[in-house]
Amino acid sequence: MKTALVAPSILSANFTHLGDDIKRIQEAGADWLHFDVMDGHFVPNISFGLPVLQGIAKTHNMVNDVHIMIDNPREYAQRFVEAGADYLTFHYEACGSDSEVFEVIDLIHKYGAKAGLSIKPKTPIEKVFPFLNSLDLVLIMSVEPGFGGQSFIRDSLGKILRLRNYIDENEIKTLIEVDGGINEQTARECKQMGVDVFVAGSYVFNAEDVKAAIRSLKI
């Protein structure tokens, strides 16, 4: 099993020094930069959007891992890719049908990014199976989307394992990313289930030693 990639979520960064914090995590060994977009409608919070992504996407060498927790992802896919998303991950629950999910995946690929599909904690993992041959990534939410600093939902472990088994049995290339309440302890449990990428916001940005925090997730 390969060493996991680490994607710090800038939702937990210090916004008076966002550029410094991005530099700090890159120098500390982060692989991806996780960019949490919230519209105050799909989730009960508003974060940041296109102008901020445009402003930071090319200021670092990490992969821009954009997680859009918004309604109507079909309307915005092109703009987020053009603003700098390398991976653009949208929510299954924000689409009205399986065909709309396929439409958004196709749009993301058409404009040149990799496509990810995210599911909330209460959505069964089997819902993503029909899309796996088209998806570059599945993002399993291990907290209710909308806020950083929440506790890891332990049912996520079973979802990760079921997805890992399905991907391996069908020789699919899709990456598994987990997001929410990730720290040294929960990362270890998730890695045993077969995670490829860890999102971590508060664990990284609140750490005394950011380098050590990121290193502790590269397992």
Which lies closer to ligand DX5 via its Cβ, residue 5 or residue 11? 11
30 touches ligand DX5 (CB under 6 A): no
116 touches ligand DX5 (CB under 6 A): no
Site string for ligand DX5, 35-74 (x = CB under 6 A): -x------------------------------x-x-----
209 is catalytic: no
29 within 8 A of 213, measured Cβ to Cβ: no
User: Rounded to 5 degrees, what angle do the CA atoms 15, 30, 180 make?
Assistant: 70
Catalytic residue among 65, 136, 179, 196: 179
Site string for ligand DX5, 184-213 (x = CB under 6 A): ---------------xxxxx----------
CB neighbour list of residue 104: distance below 8 Å, 6 or more residues apart: 73, 74, 77, 90, 95, 115
Catalytic residue among 21, 31, 36, 196: 36
- CA–CA gap between residue 117 and residue 132 (Å, rounded): 9
168 is catalytic: no
Q: Can you tell me which of 182, 187, 193, 213 binds ligand DX5, judged by CB under 6 A? A: 182
**What is the torsional sign of CA 144, 30, 195, 131?**
positive
User: Rounded to 5 degrees, what angle do the CA atoms 37, 190, 67 make?
Assistant: 10
User: Rounded to 5 degrees, what angle do the CA atoms 138, 143, 145 make?
Assistant: 75
Binding residues (CB under 6 A) for ligand DX5: these are 9, 11-12, 34, 36, 67, 69, 143, 145-150, 179-182, 199-203
